[in-house]
Structures are given as structure tokens and as C-alpha cells.
Amino acid sequence: MSDSFTLRLQQVLPIPLVGRGANSIWHQNISLSCGRNYQILAPSGTGKSTLIGILNGIRKDYTGEVFLGDENLNKASLDRWVEIRRKFISTVYQDLRLFDQLTAAENISLSGGFEDPAFSKEEVLEWCVSLQIEGKLNEKVGKLSYGQKQRVAILRALNRKYRWLLMDEPFSHLDLDNMRTAFDLIKEQCKVQQAGLIITGLDHRFNQDEFETLEI
Amino acid sequence: MGPRKSITFLLRKTQSPLQLIAGIFGSFVGIFIVGLAVQLYAEYTHLISNQGNVAGYQFIIINKKVSALNTLKRDISQFSSEDLDRIRDLGVVEDIGVFKSNQFSVEGILQIPGQNGGFGSEMFLESVEDQFIDQTPEDWNWKIGDETVPLILPTDFLNLYNFNFAPSRGLPVLSQKTTKLARFSISISGEKGQETFVGRIAGYSSRINSILVPLSFMEFANEKFTANTPQKSGKIIVSIKDDKIATLYKLIKELDWETNEDKLRSGKFAAILELLISIMVLVGLLIVAVSFSSTILYVILAINKSRYEIDTLMLIGVPRTFIVRWYIGNLGMINAFIGIGAGIALILFKNKLDEFAAGYSYQLLEKLHFTTYLIICSTLLFITLIQYLRIRKLDR
């Protein structure tokens, strides 16, 4: 099952990074198995967000090829990419990409887009309680702090079916307690969904035994 | 709010009412002008086909100038077949009619009941093909054996009688209808004999300033009462399109013939009118182009304003077709309202136009022409299509 959702990068190199030294991701043939956890370690400016962007179809400025299972994603049309995002790849963007005009609850429920809700309301509410955001659900996201917004973005990404969860520095504005709770929730949910997890900016304070590290 | 509602809320929220109003106004003006142009053109062709002399064909009567030099020559004032060919060779005249006049002498006598004798006068008669007569009366025909001869008199005759002659003599004024009831004798005499017919006024003509009888009667009488001389005419009538009059006028000046200057002036006026209409159509097209580009601009602005929302929705997996359908559904609805609004505005305008035209005794079309509706609908469909093609280009 996992094989058909394996992400493969073949000689991928973002054009802005041409000429830089070799590393464990760029210009390599690497295979990321669905169901496993990966953390990307890299100094800033070396292409962490670029990798997330390439894997969910935002960035096209690279050489090499990316596959999801047997599908060459270089050839995927816009509509196919939107479908892939809807069905297989859920993302927490570094800039969150929330809708300030909608409430936290509305942003979270928008996640599934047009699919039937993947989780019951009660279940989602439980997550909200654990991340201490339940009191803010009816507030417009525009009025929330960045840390609260970050938790809304995580919940939106979790509140759906996916085979890959991509997270670009999801904890940058969370306190340690919230970070741990969120981290546990994410790992648990990826297990439930048998999904792969790719996360950037993971802190050394976390138990990283379950993670395979890719260094740029 | 459910997900679908949230999405439509987001897309709607980012629209600017001012831009929307500007876009609607632009489309409305464009559609209205397109509809108006089509309707006015339909009215124009309707007027031409039904009221001939309004702005389509003109009928011009031409005769040769009589000057001191040629007063003594009998034939100089007659049109030869070469003269007629010269007019035809211009290529601007639709038809030429040659007036035939009596070669015999005619005397008309009006009998007053209860009195001996009556009014009598020497007369002259003319004939021309029926298509040159402005209003051919229903009973405008004569065949051999008929005793009664119908006549068409110039409208001016009756006017002169009613407004000059009758008041000065204390006589009653007469309507056209009354005069049509009168009968009088027409006594014809020539080298080959003499005969009396009954004359009856069949109608009046404002175009031809002469006493007209049916061509069949003229041909019969000329042959019967006079020695067979080839008939020439000193007067012709031509039908010509307004915009071609200038060419004919040049020839008339060149050959020193005479005609009704008023008609020529109105012909020139019609030509200027046509030029003005063409300019208006050009300016209209320009406005239409500008207004259509404003609707396209509106769509581009609307999409750009919602760029973040559209991009983000597609990043979290909302199908592009849903977003495109939402836009085109809304624009389609707006376009439909614009169409209905423009239709209503045109109907109101048409009512005003009808009132205005009625003041000048012009009969316009009963309602908006079918083509006007058709053009409004197809233009709106075209705009919607262009908008759709632009919206479909959403990328992320």
C-alpha cells in the first residue's frame, strides 16, 4: 500500500541552488517511504521550504524529476496537483496560508475542501482542547496571535485524509508545552492514517528516534 | 459556515463594490449602444421601405431650361434618347420615366346643376409610368371603351383654390374627398376627330405638378386624335438614391437643365445625415470596445484582488472548477441582469422615440426588432465567453 505513495526525488536540484556543494537531498536519487517520518535539517536559506514547495507542486523551478508512486509529478497538470493536495498531500505552510476573514473553526473545517469530513466534530474538538485553542474557535483568525494561528494551521492540515503530511517549521511560535502536544498529536495521526511525515525545523529537544534525518 | 459557504464567502468578500459597479456600468452602456444601433438601423430601413421619400429614393423631375435663345425653336426643349442615355450612363439613377403629354387639344367643362353652361377651360394632360406617382389611387386605370377618365391633380391646385380663389369669391372650401365626387366633361379634339369623356379626380400628387391621366389613355388618345408624330418629351422624372444625387446634380448643371432645387437640397441633407449616422456608428463602436474592455478589466481586477484566496484554496485542494464555476455563475447572473436592464432601457427609449416620431407623422416599428433582442443576447453570451476564457486561466 505504502509503495504506491512513495515519494522519489531523482537528481532534483532547485535552479537557485545550482553551483552549491552536494548534500543528502539535492542532486541525489532518494526515496521517501509513505508511513515513515523524516526531518529535514539545514541551515536557513539552503532550501527547506523549497523542498516542501517542490513536493506539493508550488515550485517548478528545478531540474530532475519527482515521483509519487509511479506518477511523474513533473507532468502533473494544475488540476491534478489540486487533486493530489486534496487527496494525498496535506501541508502546513511556513506562512500558514490561513484566511483571516474566517473564524478558526471555519478555517479548520475548510481543510477537507470537498471531501466528506474525515473526523467527527467531537474528535476535532478534542484536538483543539489539547492544543488549548478551543476558546478561540469562533474568533476570526485575523485577531489571533501567531502561535494560535500556527495551531489552527496544524489542525487544518490534520483534519482530513492524506498519505503525506508536509510541515514547514510548524512549531516556530509555540511554547514548549504546545510544541510537545502538537508533536505527539501529529505523530499519532500520521500513524492512524499510515501517512508519511516530512517536517522541517524540528527542535533538538524532541525525541527524534523515530525520525530519519535528511541533511541539506 | 460549511466549507462551501466559507469559500463563496471568501471570494465574495474580496470583491470591490466600486469595481463591480464600474464593470456593470461599462457592460450596460456597451450593450445598450449595441442594441440601440441595431434598433435604429431597423427603424431606418423600415422607414425607407415604407415611406420611400424619407431617406431612401428621391424622385427628381428634370426639364430643359427655356431661355431667350431657344424660345423660338420647338424641339430644343425636348429630351432626346441621347440625353436619356447620358443620364443612364452615370450609373446612379435607378429608373427614368418620360412624361408623355397630349398632342391634341383638351377642354374641361364643369357643369353646375340648374345652370346653363358652366366653367370651362383649356387644359393640358400628362402621363408617366405608375411607379413614379407618389400615391397611385386604387381605381387608377383606363381601358378602351371606358367613358370615365381618372385624373390626378397637383395638391397645390386644391390649396390654391381653398386658400386663395375660394375666399376671394366667397366660395366654399373643398376637401380632397369632396372633389373626388365631382364629375366634369373633357372634350378632346385633334386632326383626326373629336370626342367627349367624363373626368373624375382620382387623387392628388404632391410630387408631380401636372394633371395626370393614365398612360393607357394618353397613348390611346394621341394615336386616335392626332396624326402619328413621334412623341418626345420635355420633362422626365428619375428615381435616385439620396447619396447619389450629387452626381446627377453635376450633370444637370453641366448640361444647363433645370430641376427642383429643394429636392436636391434635401438629398444633400440626407447624404450628410447618412455620413453623420456612419460617424455615430463608428463612435458607438469605439464606446462599445471601451466598455467591453472595462468588463474584461473588471474580471482581471476581481481575480487579482482575490489572488491570495484563490491560490490558497487551490493549495488546500479546492478544485479549480469550483472556483471558475462560482465566478462564471455570478458573472453570468450579472450579465443576465445587465441584458434585462438594457432591454428595459431600450424599450423605454423606443417609447420616447415613437412619441417623437409621431410628432412628425412617421410610423416607426411597433416594438423592438427581433434582431435587437438577438444581438443583445449574443453579445452578452460573447462577453460571458470572454470572461470565462479569462477566468479559466487561473493558475497556481
pLDDT tens, position by position, B381-390: 988 898 888 8
pLDDT tens, position by position, A137-183: 999 999 999 999 999 999 999 999 999 999 999 998 889 899 999 99
pLDDT tens, position by position, A5-18: 999 999 999 998 88
DSSP labels, A78-126: HHHHHHHHHHTEEEE-TT----TTSBHHHHHHGGGTTSPPSS-HHHHHH
Segment B159-171 mean pLDDT: 85
**B12 in contact with A, Cβ within 8 Å:** no
Interface with A, mutate which of B5, B308, B316 (most A CBs under 10 A): B316
**Confidence check: pLDDT of B265 > 60:** yes
**Confidence check: pLDDT of B274 > 70:** no
**Confidence check: pLDDT of A1 > 50:** no
Positive or negative, the CA dihedral B251, B257, B263, B264 is positive
- Give the gap in angstroms from C-alpha B310 to the nearest C-alpha of chain A: 11
Q: Which amino acid, one-letter code, is at B378?
A: S
Q: Enumerate the domain spans of chain A.
A: 2-215
Q: Which chain A residue's Cα is nearest to B322?
A: A114
Q: Which chain A residue's Cα is nearest to B14?
A: A101
Q: Which chain B residues contact residue A112 at CB under 8 A?
A: 3
Instruction: Report pLDDT for B139.
Output: 84
Q: Which chain A residues contact residue B7 at CB under 8 A?
A: 110
Cα–Cα distance between B301 and B113 in angstroms, integer? 89
**B25 in contact with A, Cβ within 8 Å:** no
- Whole-number average pLDDT of chain B: 83
- Give the gap in angstroms from C-alpha B11 to the nearest C-alpha of chain A: 11
Instruction: Report pLDDT for B136.
Output: 81
Q: How confident is residue B257, by pLDDT bands cut at 50, 70 and 90?
A: confident
Instruction: Report pLDDT for B314.
Output: 92
Least confident of A33-47, A53-67, B41-55, B225-239: B41-55
Rg (CA), chain A: 17
Closest CB from B10, B321, B322 relative to A99? B10
- CATH homologous superfamily of domain A2-215? P-loop containing nucleotide triphosphate hydrolases (3.40.50.300)
Instruction: Report pLDDT for A2.
Output: 43
Q: What is the dihedral of CA A43, A44, A47, A51, to 10 degrees?
A: 90
Instruction: Report pLDDT for B280.
Output: 73
| Inter-chain residue contact B6 with A78, CB threshold 8 Å | no
Helix residue spans in chain B (DSSP H): 3-13, 17-51, 81-89, 155-160, 166-169, 176-179, 215-225, 245-255, 261-305, 307-315, 320-358, 370-391
pLDDT tens, position by position, B300-354: 888 888 889 999 999 998 998 889 999 999 999 999 999 999 999 999 999 999 8
Q: How confident is residue B266, by pLDDT bands cut at 50, 70 and 90?
A: low
Cβ-based neighbours of B62, under 8 Å, separated by 6 or more: B235, B236, B237, B238, B252, B257, B258, B259
- Give the gap in angstroms from C-alpha B324 to the nearest C-alpha of chain A: 12
Pairs of CB atoms within 8 A across A/B: 66
| Inter-chain residue contact A101 with B13, CB threshold 8 Å | yes
**B86 in contact with A, Cβ within 8 Å:** no
- In chain A, what percentage of residues exceed pLDDT 90? 67
Q: How confident is residue B54, by pLDDT bands cut at 50, 70 and 90?
A: very low
Segment B32-47 mean pLDDT: 84
**Confidence check: pLDDT of B33 > 90:** no
Instruction: Report pLDDT for B264.
Output: 64
H helix and E strand count, chain A: 6, 9
Instruction: Report pLDDT for B17.
Output: 86
Cβ-based neighbours of A152, under 8 Å, separated by 6 or more: A96, A98, A104, A107, A108, A133, A136, A141, A144
Q: How confident is residue B68, by pLDDT bands cut at 50, 70 and 90?
A: low
**Confidence check: pLDDT of A207 > 60:** yes
